[in-house]
């Protein structure tokens, strides 16, 4: 995917996960780890979402370390 550090094929460090993401703008493409809650399944992410309070279900790739030294997740797609 364009703009994403590709996952290392020899490790399981960065993978695609279902998650609930806290964000006020759905136009963002990357999120700090503190704004991402990894879930066990797509269904759990959808059930835990709360649009009224800015929690949205998504598939995210990560974690990756940003150039600023923070762990981030990249948006793959909204669920």
- The reply to whether 42 falls in a domain is yes
Residue 46: domain span: 15-78
pTM over 0.85, yes/no:
no
Question: What was the pLDDT predicted at 14?
Answer: 75
- The reply to whether 61 falls in a domain is yes
- The reply to whether 35 falls in a domain is yes
Question: What was the pLDDT predicted at 33?
Answer: 94
Q: Which tokens go with 61?
A: 């790739």
Rounded CA-CA distance 66/47 in Å is 30
Total domains, the chain: 1
- The reply to whether 58 falls in a domain is yes
Question: What was the pLDDT predicted at 15?
Answer: 86
- The reply to whether 44 falls in a domain is yes
- The reply to whether 5 falls in a domain is no
Of 52, 51, 70, 54, give the one whose Cα is nearest residue 62.
70
- The reply to whether 26 falls in a domain is yes
């Amino acid at each position: 995917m364009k703009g994403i550090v590709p996952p290392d094929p020899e490790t399981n460090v960065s993978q695609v996960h279902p998650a609930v993401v806290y964000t006020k703008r759905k136009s963002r493409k990357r999120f700090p780890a503190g704004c991402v809650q990894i879930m066990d399944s797509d269904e759990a992410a959808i059930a835990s979402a709360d649009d009224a309070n800015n929690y949205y279900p998504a598939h995210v790739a990560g974690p990756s370390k940003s150039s600023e030294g923070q762990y981030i997740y990249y948006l793959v797609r909204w669920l």
